[in-house]
Amino acid sequence: MEITARKIANIPAHKTSCAIVTIAKSRKLSEAAKAIDSAQSGLISAALKHGEISGNAGETLMLHGAADAASARILLVGVGSSAKFDAATARKTSTAIVKALRAGKCKEACLHGTGLGSSDYSLGQFCELLSRDLSLASYVYSETVSKPRPALPLRKLVVNGGDELTVREANKFLNRGQYVGDGMNIARRLGDLPGNICTPTFLASEARQLAKSSAKLSTRILEEKDMLKLGMGALLSVSAGSDQPAKLIQMQYKGAASTQKPYVLVGKGITFDSGGISLKPGAKMDEMKYDMCGAASVFGTLTAIIAMELPINVVALVAASENLPNGRATKPGDVVTSMSGQTIEILNTDAEGRLVLCDTLTYAERFKPAAVVDIATLTGACIVALGSQASAMYSNNDKLAEQLNSAGEISYDRVWRMPLWEEYQRQINTPFADIANVGGPAAGSITAACFLARFTEKYHWAHLDIAGSAWNSAPKGATGRPVAMLTRYLMDRAGIK
Ligand code: BES
Ligand code: MN
Ligand code: ZN
């Protein structure tokens, strides 16, 4: 899809199959709306007069222009009261535009942006959001279906920023939105692929593939024998019951001098989580193919920052394994030794995410990170606590927590900070090892984070539990979250406004 900015001086004369204009709650017409209205004998004023649209954010109305008019159709889009245009209103507006363009089967359209944006949320930011949403709307899962559903028909969108936004600025935001959207689609594809295709070995080959696309990216795959040498007894206890070998995938993005400390992203990559010997019940077990969405978000974020050529260093680590039961599988009550030296009593083999993560987090120390962020579909309890609106965020550093929070707000890919209080730690004490891998039914997302906290004391660290935000159950599909938030966080670190 081609999305570009253009300065359009003579709006009513601009030929388009669908002109998009905003309608504010005040019902005062924008310059563009006024121009089209008078060229098309008061078409827009008439719709307003009849109360067909009132200007609330999220409302749309498709009008059909006169046969000889340059704008064949006019899409009116409610944007609420212009002074209060914020991230939430922008989200509603952008979603509504994409929906209307899909319903109208538009192949081409032109958005007149005047009247969009406020001191809170700029027209540029809106351009980024809309372009991201359009990328997302063009995602179609096709790999294992004979007749994939039709893609969004839109081929071309022109954005006229009027006097508010130069063509250059608008294009900057539009491109950025596409990069983030593309990154999210990478994450969605990996998430949606079935477990028999998307195995740890498959993820490793995807990493090598990605490295081919950029001279700044290098890949190293640690095999089980390498992990054994490093003493990764926790990670290997998860892959013990599977015929598919575990892979620790390391991707290094060098966008800055090697003296610059890297930001490390760690993704949970359980390509299928059956629960292991602590087998899960059958209902919805298919959705455990999504248990590698943390890893998928790392791939997506890397793709976006490669496209943006961010001037920072990033190390991505993906802990990839299946969690299956067989005769060699880890059993409840088994004790293993992690790379950190801490022993772990595995009371429930279904709490496997923290086991693959803890060794990967210890491994992360060698990169002397500026900060480490892990992303994991870690607990069902996280869904109980926050639903799908927010990813749970935990951190041992207030500044890092605030940076992630603000990145989440701006990108509208939000996180909510949860407590890591010392008092929760006792839930994972056990007489038989240094630490137990489960902490009982209370505060399940928190005790999982407390487990990880015992492996991350040497650096600034945050953990994102994305169990509720990474995929939807109806209709089923990966969301690509939290790629937008992570990309924004890294853009902020690179000083990109
Ligand atoms: N991958 C699951 C968490 C999960 C479950 C995410 C359902 C999304 C939907 C994780 O490995 C797991 O099984 N966690 C257990 C932990 C428990 C045994 C302490 C859970 O949440 O039930
Ligand atoms: Mn599990
Ligand atoms: Zn899991």
* Domain parsing of the chain, residue ranges: 2-160, 185-493
- 92-95: long-range pairs with CB below 8 Å, 24+: 92/57, 92/58, 93/22, 93/57, 93/58, 93/126, 94/126, 94/129, 94/130, 94/133, 95/58, 95/133
Per the residue annotation, which of 99, 156, 280, 417 is the catalytic one?
280
In the reported structure, the alpha carbon of residue 104 is separated from the centroid of ligand 3 by a whole-number distance in angstroms of 41
pTM: 0.98
With a 6 Å cutoff on the Cβ, whether 128 touches ligand 1 is no
What count of Cα atoms within 13 Å lies in the side-chain half-sphere of residue 192? 20
31 annotated as ligand-binding: no
350 annotated as ligand-binding: yes
What is the rounded distance in angstroms from the CA atom of residue 295 to the CA atom of residue 267? 4
Q: Among the residues of 84-122, which ranges form H helices? A: 87-103
**Which residue's alpha carbon is nearest to atom 17 within ligand 1?**
351
- Contact predicate 349/323, CB 8 Å: yes
Angle subtended by helix axes 483-493 and 293-308, to nearest 10: 40
| Assigned superfamily of 2-160 | Leucine Aminopeptidase, subunit E, domain 1 (3.40.220.10)
491: amino acid identity, one letter:
M
Ligand that lies nearest to the alpha carbon of residue 448, given by its number in the listed order? 1
What pLDDT tens digit does each residue of the chain (497 aa) get? 999 999 999 999 999 999 999 999 999 999 999 999 999 999 999 999 999 999 999 999 999 998 889 999 999 999 999 889 999 999 999 999 999 999 999 999 999 998 788 898 999 999 999 999 999 999 999 999 999 999 899 999 999 998 889 999 999 999 999 999 999 999 999 999 999 999 999 999 999 999 999 999 999 999 999 999 999 999 999 999 999 999 999 999 999 999 999 999 999 999 999 999 999 999 999 999 999 999 999 999 999 999 999 999 999 999 999 999 999 999 999 999 999 999 999 999 999 999 999 999 999 999 999 999 999 999 999 999 999 999 999 999 999 999 999 999 999 999 999 999 999 999 999 999 999 999 999 999 999 999 999 999 999 999 999 999 999 999 999 999 999 999 999 999 999 98
What is the rounded distance in angstroms from the CA atom of residue 246 to the CA atom of residue 201? 8
Q: Which atom of ligand 1 is nearest to the CA of 448?
A: 19
Whether 493 is catalytic is no
268 annotated as ligand-binding: yes
DSSP 71: B
- Contact predicate 371/265, CB 8 Å: no
CA distances (Å), origin 114, targets 107, 166, 378: 22, 12, 43
Whether 189 is catalytic is no
| Assigned superfamily of 185-493 | Zn peptidases (3.40.630.10)
In the reported structure, the alpha carbon of residue 355 is separated from the centroid of ligand 3 by a whole-number distance in angstroms of 10
Cis status, amide bond into 482, omega within 30 of 0: yes
What is the rounded distance in angstroms from the CA atom of residue 89 to the CA atom of residue 152? 23
Which of 143, 230, 127 has the alpha carbon at shortest distance from 180? Answer: 127
- Contact predicate 196/68, CB 8 Å: no
